[in-house]
A and B are shown apart, each in its own frame.
Chain A
């Protein structure tokens, strides 16, 4: 895995109730304001819809700088900060990342910034309109995991997956219910390669929305996942959802003991296997195939060598 740049631990310090920004936060906001090239704009899926400059990486950073400079108050920013999908497209297009990131080990990290502001808002008891809908969404999926364990592994019925193994697949509720093609195909490929893996049947909630609304609950789930892997003596956790993977490698190490097991994204895992063992009984296909890496792997984790390898 590529070394992660600019972890920005200062995002963990909540912005005070009085809205005062630390000097690190002010400089971080200034870095994007200083550029003002706004290359972040036409790449942003939200801006492409709203055409509102405030709903962009430049807009978020500049609004925060306005708070730091006493022009604006944190409590007025909530609605604006709902306009982000945390995709990371802007962060990678920003000259700070593109031309300075590697050299200075400092990059623009809009999704983390947005998450931080939302988290701080939630902690300060501030809720934008429509927030109820987000909370309901998280609660619904919490329900899936705690009450309906079977649902999370139903996709694997009849597939050759052990209950425990050195290597387990971490298939979250979303992938298990709405994105079953990838895990199903993966299991078939593994079978053809003669590789035995298990399925982790109690994946604790990983969704970023919970980290924003109910950080304590999210960290409890993170702890439970990590403890669970260790207790079951799992060595490798193969993660299928790129958002889970991003959070597991970028957020977990901040507060959770992640020793004893390694986390690997599914394409890296497959690529490693194929490199080590060859294609086995897999049949070659005489077709040109293109592969699109999930954007977060590149944009948020810095894994940008084909296919998503460090």
Chain B
């Protein structure tokens, strides 16, 4: 296609206009005209996710059609039509993923599941809830709260993500250390396969609410974290937990990031069962927060890095654990930052995210920038060195005049990564700002190179290039499939993809999976 960018490798041809017209007619007939969106702006608002978007080539990612199904039957009808006409489908839930997972690479149909928003059953006795994939966690917890229950999946994107996207992205939760991530909190689910069959997928066996079974294969693993490439989740049975009686967050300041990391790592391995999250802010992040965050501006200059932790549980458990947590932090040289910052910073963990005004050029002027979050899974032993290298990459690129006012680095957070316990396994993210309004093909290419450099460091240190968002963006996708997955995983992925999706309709070419069809 003329003018097509080099944003993605292996990009195929989008559907022909005549096929699109035919699909529109068929879809309207099958699910109702009111559930089929064809206006340009209705489609343009569904071209991106919050990851930096190449605005200069927006049009290339505008889907041809958007559908708004309400039921499993609607989804089956859409999938069958797409198969027949060989037109791509990109499932879209909250559209908050940070890795281009919902960006249509080959246009086609965006299947927006937000209208699948029914809470089908709250089963208090068996501690589970059955929902459609468009249900948002915040709204779900509004229903569960009065029953003394919670669904504990708690990503920073809590207000916007939905269950289908949490499963599709295989997300990570801020409370994962205490309650597990989405995978641990998903019991079973209904799934529409790429060819239109409806299957029920559990942890082995066909029972919907049984957490452990030795019957059959354990398909749950396979169908979470698939980025919409293997079908569509249309119902999910989720774990419920009793609501904690007490939530006790604490923030401590440190003189350096290595000190902060040491304290966080020590605490995370202390064996405190109510410890539900432990995290750090590196030096650049604290400096960044001092730009405009009222809670951090007044912190003494000697506070260069910070560590936080939060306990969830019964009053009896948390009171004892709190004392131990304070002792560990103080023993590691931490300076308590006070109740106000501890409680408010934790309370605003879902809100405090990035806004365009955070961007600065090298002279300190505000430049409108969008947020990029590069996250990695790393072992504890590597964190400090990786942080040093990532900061060196930032210093190098930001000092180049051509990058001034185009890119900015906003520092790093790290969190315990392993579900249900601290095990020396961390999710580390480094946040960048990108002046999207100023993007040109050259600047975009420079950006992709920076991302590649960051991910290469992760791989050098034995890490995974993403602990929570996926590895499907330009800059990481090649490293993901050629390096991280090189020991046979990628070959297996291609076989499974081709077996289940013979016409390559489900979110095509994510993870360069068009290669599965190359023979």
Binding site for B on A (CB under 8 A): 26-27, 30-31, 34-39, 41-42, 51-54, 58-59, 62-63, 66-67, 69, 71-72, 76-77, 80, 93, 95-96, 98-100, 102-104, 106
Can you give 30 A-B contacts (C-beta < 8 A)?
A27-B437, A30-B356, A34-B355, A34-B368, A34-B369, A35-B355, A35-B356, A35-B370, A36-B53, A37-B50, A37-B160, A41-B159, A42-B139, A51-B68, A53-B114, A58-B45, A59-B45, A62-B44, A66-B44, A66-B45, A71-B41, A71-B44, A76-B40, A76-B41, A99-B352, A100-B357, A102-B294, A103-B357, A104-B292, A104-B357
Checking B45, B139, B356 against A96 with a beta-carbon cut-off of 8 angstroms, the contacting residue is B356
13 A-B pairs besides A26-B437, A93-B159 with CB distance below 8 A are: A36-B96, A37-B96, A37-B159, A41-B94, A41-B160, A51-B68, A51-B114, A63-B45, A66-B45, A69-B58, A95-B354, A96-B355, A100-B358
Is B351 touching A39 in the complex (CB atoms < 8 A)?
yes
Is A95 touching B68 in the complex (CB atoms < 8 A)?
no
Is A31 touching B353 in the complex (CB atoms < 8 A)?
no
Is A72 touching B292 in the complex (CB atoms < 8 A)?
no
Chain B residue with the shortest CB-CB distance to A31: B356
In the complex, what distance in Å separates the CA atom of A51 from the CA atom of B113? 9
- B residues near A41, Cβ cutoff 8 Å: 94, 159-160
Checking A38, A52, A106 against B160 with a beta-carbon cut-off of 8 angstroms, the contacting residue is A38
Is B159 touching A42 in the complex (CB atoms < 8 A)?
yes
- At the interface, yes or no: B221 with Cβ under 8 Å from chain A? no
- A residues near B48, Cβ cutoff 8 Å: 36
In the complex, what distance in Å separates the CA atom of A42 from the CA atom of B62? 24
Is B45 touching A104 in the complex (CB atoms < 8 A)?
no
**A42 with B136, Cβ < 8 A, contacts A37-B96, A53-B112, A104-B292 known:** yes
In the complex, what distance in Å separates the CA atom of A63 from the CA atom of B37? 14
Is A51 touching B157 in the complex (CB atoms < 8 A)?
no
Main secondary structure of the interface of A (DSSP, over half): helix
Is B41 touching A77 in the complex (CB atoms < 8 A)?
yes
Is A37 touching B353 in the complex (CB atoms < 8 A)?
yes
In the complex, what distance in Å separates the CA atom of A148 from the CA atom of B138? 48
In the complex, what distance in Å separates the CA atom of A151 from the CA atom of B96? 51
**A54 with B357, Cβ < 8 A, contacts A27-B368, A39-B159, A104-B292 known:** no
Checking A31, A42, A99 against B351 with a beta-carbon cut-off of 8 angstroms, the contacting residue is A99
- B residues near A100, Cβ cutoff 8 Å: 292, 355, 357-358
Bits for B14-50, please: 1 = Cβ < 8 Å to A, else 0: 0000000000000000000000010111101110111
Chain B residue with the shortest CB-CB distance to A39: B159
Bits for B448-470, please: 1 = Cβ < 8 Å to A, else 0: 00000000000000000000000
Q: Which 10 A-B pairs have the closest CB atoms?
A: A36-B50, A34-B356, A63-B41, A51-B115, A38-B160, A66-B44, A51-B114, A34-B370, A62-B45, A72-B40
Chain A residue with the shortest CB-CB distance to B359: A34
A58 to chain B, nearest CB (A): 7
A64 to chain B, nearest CB (A): 9
Checking A30, A53, A76 against B45 with a beta-carbon cut-off of 8 angstroms, the contacting residue is A53
Bits for B353-367, please: 1 = Cβ < 8 Å to A, else 0: 111111000000010
Is A54 touching B42 in the complex (CB atoms < 8 A)?
yes
**A106 with B41, Cβ < 8 A, contacts A37-B157, A41-B160 known:** no
In the complex, what distance in Å separates the CA atom of A27 from the CA atom of B438? 12
Is A95 touching B160 in the complex (CB atoms < 8 A)?
no
Checking B44, B50, B114, B353 against A72 with a beta-carbon cut-off of 8 angstroms, the contacting residue is B44
**A30 with B437, Cβ < 8 A, contacts A77-B41, A99-B351 known:** yes
B419 to chain A, nearest CB (A): 25
- At the interface, yes or no: B154 with Cβ under 8 Å from chain A? no
Chain A residue with the shortest CB-CB distance to B114: A51
Chain B residue with the shortest CB-CB distance to A108: B355
Is B159 touching A99 in the complex (CB atoms < 8 A)?
no
Is A106 touching B95 in the complex (CB atoms < 8 A)?
no
Is A76 touching B39 in the complex (CB atoms < 8 A)?
yes
- A residues near B351, Cβ cutoff 8 Å: 39, 95, 98-99
In the complex, what distance in Å separates the CA atom of A71 from the CA atom of B45? 11
A143 to chain B, nearest CB (A): 36
- At the interface, yes or no: B64 with Cβ under 8 Å from chain A? no
- B residues near A38, Cβ cutoff 8 Å: 50, 94-96, 159-160
B50-86 interface (Cβ within 8 A of A): 50, 53, 55, 58-59, 62, 68
Chain A residue with the shortest CB-CB distance to B435: A34
Is A103 touching B292 in the complex (CB atoms < 8 A)?
yes
Is A35 touching B357 in the complex (CB atoms < 8 A)?
no
Is A106 touching B357 in the complex (CB atoms < 8 A)?
yes
A223 to chain B, nearest CB (A): 36
Q: Which of A34, A66, A93, A95 counts the most chain B CB atoms within 10 A?
A: A34
- B residues near A35, Cβ cutoff 8 Å: 50, 353-356, 370-371
Is B49 touching A36 in the complex (CB atoms < 8 A)?
yes
- A residues near B356, Cβ cutoff 8 Å: 30-31, 34-35, 96
In the complex, what distance in Å separates the CA atom of A77 from the CA atom of B293? 36
B110 to chain A, nearest CB (A): 10
Is B357 touching A96 in the complex (CB atoms < 8 A)?
yes
Is B41 touching A54 in the complex (CB atoms < 8 A)?
yes
Q: Which of A27, A52, A102 counts the most chain B CB atoms within 10 A?
A: A52
